[in-house]
Amino acid sequence: MAVADSLLTLLRTTSTEPRADEQLEALTLAVAADLPVLLWGEPGIGKTAALTQLATSLDLPLTTVIASVHEPSDFSGLPIVGDDPAVRGVPMAPPQWAVELVRAGRGLLFLDELSTATPAVQAALLRVVLERKVGTLQLPPGVRIVAAANPRASAADGWELSPPLANRFVHLHWVHDREVVVRGLGGVWPRAELPRLEPERLCDAVTLARRAVCGFLEARPTLIHRLPTTETRRGGAWPSPRSWEAALTLLAFGTAASVSREVLALLVRGAVGDGPGLELLAHLDRMDLPDPETLLADPASAELPVRGDLRQAALEAVVAAVGARPGRERWEAGWAVLVRALETGAADLLVAPATALAALRRDDWEVPAAVERLAGVIGVARRAEESVGRAAAHADGTGTGTGTGR
């Protein structure tokens, strides 16, 4: 057995390396934001291993509680009779794991197998997840909560999460990365590193997050609270005032840490759901668009977005601004902005805004010289689009046997 133990020790000896991992980055940032996180994933995909490694990286003691094997009283507290119950009442004694967490003052509470916990246990977990209370015991601020669950189809005797419990979590869908698994089995696993929060950006991050979420909800008030109609979707992320507060927090943390758009999307969608989350991100993009009046005031030095969809949105905003207050000078400035766009980006994005701007011309307005610089490029792009359309139509006609036979 001694030799067997030596072999097992060698097999279990691994190292870590810094590696870009959007899932780990999103999980680490949500834990830093002190928001309860729920990892969804198929059995055996590495959720528990990721949590163990996260606790080690963040130097937090890990406490694992298998939710499905506990009774409701293990989370709401066990009633004990004191000296004078008629006066003092019957206190609810917390379980040992909660006492140890309080004694440590910090830690990572891992609630595993959440989707196999009965509805009664899920109800008892509500106060643990939201208020950080186990019986009458208050968990310290240094305790973070992460749970894991399998989809109902993959869980043994699985239950859908109740809407009140589901709405308390940031939902992250965990998938395996082939390269990470292969390299990890070779002895090197990725190391979770807390994204660095930049102190000088904290105030601006909070301002941006509040402006983005509040501005979006003013424009889309029906998304403030929308309970899904199906049981499965009610057990995931959906918008409510509580989850929008979580999204605001995550947006502020993500901005302060300068995380990628992909990581920010995982976090926001995990808080309020895919649809509302993507709409919020689109609203955030529009907030970053340059002011069209600024572009019209100084077209020669106009700075346009690099990303194609944002650049086209900025050009369309310029055309809309000219149409809202039409005037010859503003119309000519609009053409100058399009010339600037031609000098700094792709020409195919100019076809639609140039066509719309040309339609705003009045009979007594002379065509500016800038139009000549655009005419050739726009004409080529338009003819290319038309030729592609004709080729597609011809292919459809040939494929269906409706061609002319030539």
Using only C-alpha atoms, what is the Rg of the chain?
Answer: 29
Range 179-195 burial, b when 16+ CB lie within 10 A, else e: ebeeebeeeebbbbbeb
Q: Which residue has the higher pLDDT, 136 or 63?
A: 63
pLDDT at residue 400 in the model? 45
The fraction of the chain above a pLDDT of 70, given in percent, is 88
pLDDT in tens, 182-193: 888 898 877 766
Task: Specify whether the CB–CB gap between 10 and 187 falls below 8 A.
Answer: no
**Judgement on whether residues 161 and 24 belong to the same structural domain of the protein:** yes
How many of the other CB atoms lie within 10 Å of CB of 202? 14
Q: Is 39 helix (H, G, I), strand (E, B) or coil?
A: strand
**Judgement on whether residues 113 and 183 belong to the same structural domain of the protein:** yes
**Judgement on whether residues 28 and 99 belong to the same structural domain of the protein:** yes
- According to the per-residue pLDDT averaged within each range, which of 15-24, 66-75, 139-148, 387-396 is highest? 139-148
What is the four-CA torsion angle of 278, 282, 284, 288, rounded to 10 degrees?
A: 160
**How do strand 92-93 and strand 78-79 relate by DSSP bridges?**
antiparallel
Q: What is the pTM of this model?
A: 0.74
Spatial neighbors of 287 by CB under 8 A, at least 6 apart, are 208, 211, 212, 215
Judged by average pLDDT, the poorest of 71-80, 167-176, 299-308, 353-362 is 71-80
pLDDT in tens, 357-381: 888 888 888 888 777 777 766 654 4
**Judgement on whether residues 165 and 28 belong to the same structural domain of the protein:** yes
Task: Specify whether the CB–CB gap between 240 and 225 falls below 8 A.
Answer: yes
**Into how many domains does the chain fold?**
3
**Judgement on whether residues 204 and 237 belong to the same structural domain of the protein:** yes
**Judgement on whether residues 190 and 205 belong to the same structural domain of the protein:** no
**Judgement on whether residues 168 and 24 belong to the same structural domain of the protein:** yes
Q: Residue 405 domain-assigned?
A: no
pLDDT in tens, 212-227: 999 999 989 999 999 9
pLDDT in tens, 120-145: 899 889 989 988 988 888 999 999 99
**How do strand 133-134 and strand 142-149 relate by DSSP bridges?**
unpaired
Domain of 367 in residue numbering reads as 292-399
CATH, residue 168: 3.40.50.300
pLDDT band at 386 (very low <50, low <70, confident <90, very high): low
pLDDT at residue 217 in the model? 93
Average pLDDT, integer, range 67-81:
81
Task: Specify whether the CB–CB gap between 25 and 263 falls below 8 A.
Answer: yes
What is the helix (H) or strand (E) element at residue 109, kind and residue range? strand 106-112
Question: Backbone phi, then psi, for 222, in 5-degree steps?
Answer: -70, -15
